[in-house]
Amino acid sequence: MSRPRRPDPPPLATNDVHLAIAGTVAWGIALVVLLLVGLPSGERWWLWVCVVGMGCGLFGVWYIPRLHSSRARLAAERAAKRGS
């Protein structure tokens, strides 16, 4: 006989924009370090990896608030439909 399963804990509330900013800053620091250290000509693609990482992070900083607001709007619409 198995014990009853405990309920799942609620999801953690995080500030996803801060995480995206931290990642973008980390890619920026990596880019600066690579520019200061210098790379052989065959390894310069690492610079573009940092640039793309920063671009993805900036996109996340722009997109995440819009995602959260659209999810909240959708949840409010669903709640209004249930309440009617």
CA atoms within 13 A on the CB side of 41: 0
- C-alpha to C-alpha distance for 67 and 8, rounded to whole angstroms: 25
pLDDT in tens, 8-43: 999 888 899 999 999 999 999 999 999 999 999 999
Give 13 or 56, the one with higher predicted confidence: 56
Give 73 or 82, the one with higher predicted confidence: 73
pLDDT, residue 33, reads: 97
- C-alpha to C-alpha distance for 36 and 82, rounded to whole angstroms: 59
pLDDT, residue 83, reads: 75
